[in-house]
Structure 1
């Protein structure tokens, strides 16, 4: 073998190791520390906190307060007041820990949020006094650890507390060296299930000080650990918290921290991107960090605000809002290869199926499932109208609280199918048979509903009375809202219904189930009404609906957030490959978003809602990459918090998918059945990605350097055929399987078979 040939072989071997993940990749997240030089101003809050944050996907830690009196808020995804109306119902605050350090009153504030380590590091100085505090939520345990070191002797008073009120029952006590508090919801009318939480505190290394007053000795570390369990974790929730806290020692904490660090190393090794833009990369990795803090597959799913709860009665009850808020936070996790964060997604939707069937039959006289706009865990409905006519009048301008038998559907039939979008994204990303069997009954129930609900008129399937937006009584319309009902063929509905039937055909074929039903399902896909368009300003533009009683909907409005949900994300039924002519209409609509801007940062009208939808939607239709990135940076600058959380007027954690999903889609696309490498990226700008996940169960890495794609590596998990747009247009492509040349590929688009766990390298010739 020639020296040149030897070098090429070694290069391919390196690429194969990278594809497998056996060569460690740089943890780019560690570069993007977030620094705070002032105490948070937005804590406590019913929405997004602006404080340093960390968590383990179940327990969330919000670091509030001032140096002399720090305030830790402990949220937990599974601590709910299971009451069907908010305010009052929804996710609740377990409690927190107050640290009073008199010597630090008025001290300089400095804190760092460290995404590479899952730690909040703080340092407070006042004259010669300095105290450093490292806080972390153990990634593999139900324990919060706070490590405190002072350079001079001072005192600290820790006060563990449980939130009170809202019908809660509280207890407190001390067991040996453990201080504990509890909060419980039980035995109140309409409560669907009881829920309890215990917080147990142990102080270590404090030279015999009591838990009430701690003396911080110079250079000696004091550890305060709080173990938190709910009745959803353990039946013996209180005893478990106390027992585990009592067993803590410095050596146990050290082992816990080692496991914590290993978890975060493994997390960041799942995938990486480099785009040579420090602002975009910072928000890319910080967003993924915050979502990893908010969601863990073996725990209950996060609500709108994740576990970063700082008070009861958060906005919308912090529930699972099904007309996008619940689904959106997960969107980037599939392509970023963080599937473990998504394991909790399906359970609330599956748990509500029996109620959904009752709603469908009793309210609409159809089969299948029909979901209200908001649910919670364990079959909980969170969105009932106020229980008395008087409260209904005060809040909504009408005394009629019996609308839809007292449930908030808000004129929308599509919520259950909206929930199916994420299921299909994960299925296409994994082709996992166990997962397919898990979700298949839900998909069938959705199909049952729409087979019954759709009407076949004049050779096409049409959708009546499923509304583009929420339609409901409110104080602005004085409760007069029924005249707004009557949307016909909403783009949201048409897109998501097409997504459903295309998806269930794929899943049923994969599982070899209900093959006899596929003819009907395919007929719906084929004959579903076309997406409505009209003319505006001499060009074709998307209409939100075919017709509506609401005058503002009866004209072309262009592609917008709600339509994107049906057509592009999660719908995935449109794009440049699927229908290039229709895609050009959508592309033209995106190009006119700037016409509607009055201020920098308003592109796509995303200040209230939609940053997680509009930016990746613009990528999918092929809008200019440089313009998207600039608009994204402008949007971030206008409305985001110091902790890296991009905020908006509506929901919360859904914005955490905005930057990762936008970048992932720029570097790799596969949602139209064709893998595309750097499909919407300026090729004069260097970029690379490692182990992003594509539909077909492929893990893909590539690098663009000096205007040329250097290589593509593919790990095929399930041995499916790979259809790819040629990364080197006009050139032949060398196919290398497990380090050996295996023929050449050519053409604008090509397909090649793969084997399970096969490693493939593609290089332009």
Structure 2
């Protein structure tokens, strides 16, 4: 008995050490990926995505541009939208003027682990080190300036609010007099000076602080900003920085990956960094360009494009175990319900019907007619709701936040689908914007577009699980099951001697760019490794035929779709690396003809290559080259499981699964014919065998698996 107790204590201690080791590994890996900049940003200001170093706290964003003698810190805020422009607007900028640094050397890094920008600038005996950060826990921007040269340096800090130079604070209301006009209040100061200019002696340090609030944050945003700033001291600022670092440390400890290709690995971490910097629970969701708005004429209104752009940045957080990042998305979409209900009624339909272009608070920047013949926008917008429930099994969230919108989407499709010749058909739904003769607001002749078929199938499958969990709508389930069973199959065609998918059953057959031809695989989730082998074969043929490895609008979905059906892992990695090498801006955001923060999403393919849980079946390294070592920690799987594992010398090891909600667990045996020894909370438990391993779990239970 004494020996058994000692053994249990040793195993439990090993689990705790393992967890601590994983968290330390996460910090060490991201710490190695500091993004370097050797020259000022070239494309700031811009109407699209800046190529500058980026900082943010999920609400306030800062893009840093300019030469050392005139650095500019452009400020954006997710809730600062113009009424006249129907687009997010730039708040303004902070400009540091240092004449003695004209022609100075430029060296800067973005430290993702700490969410800090560090710049070092030298011009002979004149030199400055500048550190900037956006407070993770509050509405502050800090710019710390230290004289590292041997001569005094004069520094001026100018605050420009909108297009006006202000002294220490001001209120900016570009749409004054308009209904629903937004306004921001900003206060700024050098903490060691009464003015905006001071002379720094060698080794001296000063801090320029900004407090920024909108009328969404406070009824009197300027008064709030001035109050915040008046209480700031150097000591308090230092304390805020400690808390800021603690926030980011906790964030990074939630998950990690480690793979041989360090460029791809760096982009995985930059994805997490970008999304945590521009999206935060309790704040307004970011538009196309995040919170890094550097002009008042943003492309495509900087809006919420619902035919993939708004959803795409949120592809990655679920399996990366940062579900909380997606919280603003649900509020934004739920706010669209009244608009969508009204629009559906105008067309004679039930439920919600949404155009392509939407904005915060249920606004529509391009108006209700901007649907481009597409009926799939609302169901496409349902995907993050579906993923949240699948990955968290959070019934309380579903009841409060998720189900109402899902039900509205279901109402639309149950009403809109037509039943012809024993099957359900989707009529007049454009696969591409305006395809099938629809134009901006007309009727498309496209029938059974492949993406919408996938989305509708996933919608009804999800409604069954959700309604059963909530104990509601039981009378509707037989209809939903019938629709799933009798929904038209994916259309196919012959191309270059192989069967591939057709974009629609009637109408548009093929398209020369974009990736809609595989989006029924991902993000729609209608095909996976448990699908009919014939469908998987056609999926591979389709990938070969499309070959959209570098596409203006497709990178967010293409690579993950390839991984989902286990398409040539070596090819995926090689093409992913090539894309990063050729299309990455210095800040690690991908640049194509369109897109913005959506282009943080291709790294999700790595998650899918290392771990899949499609349809609730966990697979370890399902699309990973056997000759490449890799490991991951605390990735999230469907069923509310937190999963860690390693592949070393072609063997899967160190498999640990934490069950958050006590759901049944199904795993494809990573050791194939070998029996599997199960440990529950450090105690030796049952032994299982077979190609698939199934077991019950308890909430908060930690399961470890070992081959025998």
TM-score range, shorter chain: over 0.9
SS at match of 1:561: coil
Structure 1 counterpart of 2:541: 588
Match of 1:316 among 276, 285, 300: 300
Structure 1 counterpart of 2:52: 51
In structure 2, the CA distance between the partners of 1:708 and 1:3, relative to structure 1 (3 Å rule), is: farther
TM-aligned CA deviation for residue 2 of structure 1: 13
In structure 2, the CA distance between the partners of 1:509 and 1:4, relative to structure 1 (3 Å rule), is: closer
Cα shift readout 1:440-475 (whole Å, capped 9, x = no counterpart): 1111110110111000000000001111000189xx
Q: How many pairs were matched up? A: 704
Structure 2 counterpart of 1:369: 352
Check if 1:415 corresponds to 2:369: no
Contact in 1 for aligned 2:116/2:131 (Cα 8 Å) = yes
Partner Cα separation in structure 1 for residue 631 and residue 24 of structure 2? 15
Match of 1:495 among 454, 457, 475: 454
Partner Cα separation in structure 1 for residue 316 and residue 135 of structure 2? 24
Contact in 2 for aligned 1:158/1:211 (Cα 8 Å) = no
Q: Structure 1 length as normaliser, TM-score?
A: 0.89
In structure 2, the CA distance between the partners of 1:20 and 1:577, relative to structure 1 (3 Å rule), is: farther
Partner Cα separation in structure 2 for residue 31 and residue 67 of structure 1? 26
Structure 2 counterpart of 1:108: 105
Match of 1:554 among 497, 505, 509: 509
Contact in 1 for aligned 2:372/2:442 (Cα 8 Å) = no
Contact in 1 for aligned 2:373/2:443 (Cα 8 Å) = no
In structure 2, the CA distance between the partners of 1:413 and 1:21, relative to structure 1 (3 Å rule), is: farther
In structure 2, the CA distance between the partners of 1:559 and 1:514, relative to structure 1 (3 Å rule), is: farther
TM-aligned CA deviation for residue 753 of structure 1: 0.3
TM-aligned CA deviation for residue 280 of structure 1: 1.0
Mapping of residues 282-431 of structure 1, within 5 Å: 282-362=266-346, 364-384=347-367, 407-431=369-393
Structure 2 counterpart of 1:707: 650
Cα shift readout 1:42-77 (whole Å, capped 9, x = no counterpart): 110001111111111111110011111111101111
In structure 2, the CA distance between the partners of 1:187 and 1:242, relative to structure 1 (3 Å rule), is: closer
SS at match of 1:136: strand
Partner Cα separation in structure 1 for residue 17 and residue 403 of structure 2? 35
Cα shift readout 1:549-596 (whole Å, capped 9, x = no counterpart): xxxx235x699621333x2222111122122220111012223445xx
Check if 1:756 corresponds to 2:696: no
Partner Cα separation in structure 1 for residue 328 and residue 558 of structure 2? 25
Partner Cα separation in structure 1 for residue 239 and residue 439 of structure 2? 62
Q: Structure 2 length as normaliser, TM-score?
A: 0.96
Partner Cα separation in structure 2 for residue 450 and residue 21 of structure 1? 48
Partner Cα separation in structure 1 for residue 140 and residue 442 of structure 2? 53
Match of 2:119 among 118, 122, 128: 122
Check if 1:159 corresponds to 2:167: no
TM-aligned CA deviation for residue 536 of structure 1: 1.6
In structure 2, the CA distance between the partners of 1:304 and 1:608, relative to structure 1 (3 Å rule), is: same
SS at match of 1:574: coil
TM-aligned CA deviation for residue 539 of structure 1: 1.4
TM-aligned CA deviation for residue 158 of structure 1: 1.2
Structure 2 counterpart of 1:398: none
Contact in 1 for aligned 2:47/2:294 (Cα 8 Å) = yes
Structure 2 counterpart of 1:606: 550
SS at match of 2:516: helix
Contact in 2 for aligned 1:67/1:107 (Cα 8 Å) = yes
In structure 2, the CA distance between the partners of 1:459 and 1:19, relative to structure 1 (3 Å rule), is: farther
Structure 2 counterpart of 1:599: none
TM-aligned CA deviation for residue 198 of structure 1: 1.3
In structure 2, the CA distance between the partners of 1:243 and 1:698, relative to structure 1 (3 Å rule), is: same
Match of 2:91 among 91, 94, 105: 94
Partner Cα separation in structure 1 for residue 688 and residue 370 of structure 2? 55
TM-aligned CA deviation for residue 322 of structure 1: 0.6
Structure 2 counterpart of 1:695: 638
Structure 1 counterpart of 2:524: 571
Structure 2: 5+ residue runs without aligned partners?
none
Check if 1:669 corresponds to 2:612: yes
SS at match of 1:562: coil
Contact in 2 for aligned 1:138/1:260 (Cα 8 Å) = yes
Contact in 2 for aligned 1:160/1:181 (Cα 8 Å) = no
TM-aligned CA deviation for residue 719 of structure 1: 0.2
In structure 2, the CA distance between the partners of 1:19 and 1:589, relative to structure 1 (3 Å rule), is: farther
Contact in 2 for aligned 1:559/1:586 (Cα 8 Å) = no
Structure 1 counterpart of 2:188: 201
Cα shift readout 1:123-181 (whole Å, capped 9, x = no counterpart): 001011111100000100100000001122111111101124xxxxx7x865xxxx012
Q: CA RMSD in A?
A: 2.3
Structure 2 counterpart of 1:252: 236
Contact in 1 for aligned 2:514/2:552 (Cα 8 Å) = no
Partner Cα separation in structure 2 for residue 46 and residue 286 of structure 1? 22
Partner Cα separation in structure 1 for residue 22 and residue 227 of structure 2? 39
Partner Cα separation in structure 1 for residue 68 and residue 48 of structure 2? 23
SS at match of 2:315: helix
Partner Cα separation in structure 1 for residue 80 and residue 638 of structure 2? 35
TM-aligned CA deviation for residue 16 of structure 1: 5.8
Partner Cα separation in structure 2 for residue 24 and residue 14 of structure 1? 15
Contact in 1 for aligned 2:372/2:441 (Cα 8 Å) = no
Partner Cα separation in structure 1 for residue 406 and residue 232 of structure 2? 46
Contact in 1 for aligned 2:373/2:430 (Cα 8 Å) = yes
Partner Cα separation in structure 2 for residue 529 and residue 273 of structure 1? 39
Partner Cα separation in structure 1 for residue 549 and residue 593 of structure 2? 11
Check if 1:743 corresponds to 2:686: yes
Partner Cα separation in structure 1 for residue 674 and residue 568 of structure 2? 25
Structure 2 counterpart of 1:402: none
Runs of 4+, deviation exceeding 2 Å? 1-26, 185-188, 209-212, 479-485, 557-560, 591-594
SS at match of 2:317: helix
Partner Cα separation in structure 2 for residue 65 and residue 219 of structure 1? 24
Check if 1:459 corresponds to 2:422: yes
SS at match of 1:238: helix
In structure 2, the CA distance between the partners of 1:239 and 1:21, relative to structure 1 (3 Å rule), is: farther
Structure 2 counterpart of 1:679: 622
Partner Cα separation in structure 2 for residue 538 and residue 2 of structure 1? 70
TM-aligned CA deviation for residue 484 of structure 1: 8.0
Cα shift readout 1:487-523 (whole Å, capped 9, x = no counterpart): 0000011111111111111100111110110000111
